[in-house]
Amino acid sequence: MSSFQKIGIVTIIAVYLLIWVGGLVRSTGSGMGCPDWPKCFGQWIPPTDEKELPKNYKDVYAQKRKDKNEKLAKYLDFLGWIELSNAIKGDKNTYFEADFNATKTWIEYINRLIGVLIGFLIILTFIFSLKYWKENKLVVYLSALSIVLVLFQGWIGSIVVSTNLLPGLISFHMSLAILQVFILMWAVGRSFKNDNTNTTKVSNTLNIVLIVSIILVFIQIILGTQVRQAVDIVAKKLGEGTRGTWVENLGIEFYIHRSFSWLILFFHIWLVFQMKKLASVHKKWFNLSKILVGIVIVEFLSGVGLAYLGMPAVLQPLHLLLAVLIIGFLFMLLILVNPRWFMKSNNKQEKKYQLV
Q: Domain-by-domain residue ranges, the chain?
A: 1-192, 198-347
Per residue in 32-77, pLDDT (tens digit) is: 788 887 788 888 888 888 888 888 888 888 888 778 778 878 877 8
Per residue in 179-211, pLDDT (tens digit) is: 999 999 999 988 887 654 455 677 788 999 999
> Could you tell me the CA-to-CA distances from 235 to 30, 71, 148, 277, 318 in Å, in that order?
13, 31, 36, 48, 19
Q: What is the pLDDT of residue 43?
A: 86
Segment 141-159 shows an average pLDDT of: 89
What is the C-alpha separation between 157 and 169, in angstroms, rounded?
9
Q: Are 118 and 11 in contact (CB under 8 A)?
A: yes
Q: Is residue 178 helix, strand or coil?
A: helix
Decide if pLDDT at 218 tops 90.
Answer: yes
Average pLDDT, the chain: 84
What is the C-alpha separation between 234 and 220, in angstroms, rounded?
21
What is the C-alpha separation between 26 and 155, in angstroms, rounded?
19
Q: Are 8 and 184 in contact (CB under 8 A)?
A: yes
Segment 250-278 shows an average pLDDT of: 90
Q: Is residue 40 helix, strand or coil?
A: strand
pTM attached to this predicted model: 0.83
What is the C-alpha separation between 225 and 174, in angstroms, rounded?
8
For the chain, give the percent of residues with pLDDT over 70. 90
CB atoms within 10 A of CB 83: 10
Q: What is the pLDDT of residue 197?
A: 46
Q: Are 346 and 295 in contact (CB under 8 A)?
A: no
Q: What single string gives the DSSP state of each residue in 301-329?
A: HHHHHHHHTT--TTHHHHHHHHHHHHHHH
Per residue in 312-344, pLDDT (tens digit) is: 878 888 999 999 999 999 999 998 888 777 776
Decide if pLDDT at 149 tops 90.
Answer: yes
Segment 276-298 shows an average pLDDT of: 88
Q: What is the pLDDT of residue 355?
A: 35
Per residue in 82-104, pLDDT (tens digit) is: 777 777 776 666 666 778 888 98
Radius of gyration of the chain (CA): 22
